Amino acid sequence: MRFINNPIEILFEIVKERYPDTDCDIIIGMQMTDGKETLGCTLFPDDPNERVVIEIHPTLSLENATEILAHELAHVIAGKEADHNEHWNAIFAELHVVFQEKLINRFEQYNLV
Ligand SMILES: [Zn+2]
């Protein structure tokens, strides 16, 4: 059994190819630990020995979950200080463009269009 066009998997492929040092834990859960009612967040620990954590809300559609995960992964890649600055924006835009390319390629490869 295999999943042909899992968008989360495609996103992981892109990040591993382009930013192989990216390291974080990703949790799908309803308790956003930043205390806000958000659909996703990235938590940078004060202790550098602790891991960065991304949280994604479980009620999101697959499409929105992928988009929000890309947003949060761009935060991990850009670093804590970047927030939503140009550097973060460039990474997020890059992930989006490459994701679309890969998704189209995957659809064509398996005649899913
Ligand atoms: Zn953000």
CA distance 31 to 28: 9
Ligand 1 midpoint to CA 70 (Å): 10
Ligand 1 center to 112 CA (angstroms) = 32
Q: How far is the CA of 1 from the centre of ligand 1 (A)?
A: 35
Burial of 73 (0-12, 13-18, 19+ CB in 10 A): buried
**Any idea where the domains of the chain sit in the sequence?**
7-109
Centre of ligand 1 to C-alpha 101, Å, is 23
Separation of alpha carbons 77 and 91, rounded Å: 8
Whole-Å CA distances, 106 to 8, 65, 71: 13, 19, 22
Q: How many Å lie between the centroid of ligand 1 and the Cα of residue 83?
A: 7
Give the number of C-alpha atoms closer than 13 A to the C-alpha of residue 62, restricted to the C-beta side: 7
What is the CA(41)–ligand 1 centre distance, in A? Answer: 7
* Residue 110 in this model has a pLDDT that exceeds 90: no
pLDDT tens per residue, range 22-65: 999 999 987 766 566 688 999 999 998 999 999 999 999 999 99
pLDDT tier, 108 (very low <50, low <70, confident <90, very high otherwise): confident
Taking CA atoms, 41 is separated from 3, 18, 37, 70, in Å, by 26, 22, 10, 11
Distance, CA 111 to ligand 1 centroid (Å)? 35
DSSP state, residue 37: -
